[in-house]
Amino acid sequence: MSEETRLREQICLLAKSMFDRGLTGGSTGNISARTPDGGLLVSPTGTSFGRLDPGRLSRFDARGVLIEGDEPTKEMPLHAAFYDTRAKTGAVVHLHSCHSVAWSLMPEVDEDNFLPPLTPYAIMKLGKVKLLPFFVPGDPAMGEAVRGLAGKRTAVMLANHGPVVAGVDVEAACNAIEELEETARLAIIMRGYDARMMTPEQIGAVVTKFDVDWDA
């Protein structure tokens, strides 16, 4: 089995796992990953994470030209923005996950640091998550907003829409976006309680130990 064939199957396996656990539904969400030759594999437009076909993924060459497979997701500018601005990006995942969307609607949310410091794991896997404003789905301006961050963030939250996370590979990106959703779910559960957040000293210790780019 070739490395690209394994990557195709891994994309579909991880996407189905997220779909089966309710992290995105219907035909929502999209996923992409860098191929060994510098191209991209991308989930096609209008497809369900629960039923992706490895053989029908959109395939781009290293120049960004679609060379085979179905028409790609309309959110390609969003994906391209991460690949173009973050050299270490090997995969990008976008979900319509319920709790992260719900948290984006709350008036107290910090736009520069979307997730409250409830556990160390979101800090470790995501750094600071930037809350971006509402865009009409498919609007290329979403990609421009990500480019405006100059590669300083691995994750953004599209208000009223869903999270987008870049990772070094597809497994890392999926693990990180799941951590984002779980942290948002915990924030919703604790909303209205006098929760003990992590202290600045505790956050600093995690940032130092795991070499997190926290001040960007």
Beta strands in the chain (DSSP E): 30-34, 40-42, 58-60, 66-68, 91-94, 130-132, 155-158, 162-167
In this structure, what are the phi and psi dihedrals at residue 151, rounded to the nearest 5 degrees?
75, 15
**List 4, 83, 121, 171, catalytic entry:** 121
The catalytic residue among 75, 179, 181, 182 is 75
| 11, 102, 191, 210 from 18: Cα distances, Å | 11, 18, 25, 26
25 burial via Cβ count (<10 Å: 0-12, 13-18, 19+)? middle
End-to-end CA distance of the chain: 41
- Indicate if 68 belongs to the active site: no
Establish whether 193 is a catalytic residue: no
At 72, list the tokens.
Answer: 């790609």
Q: Which of 29, 23, 160 is closest to 97 using CA atoms? A: 23
Euclidean distance between CA atoms 114 and 104, whole angstroms: 8
- Residues with catalytic function: 75, 121
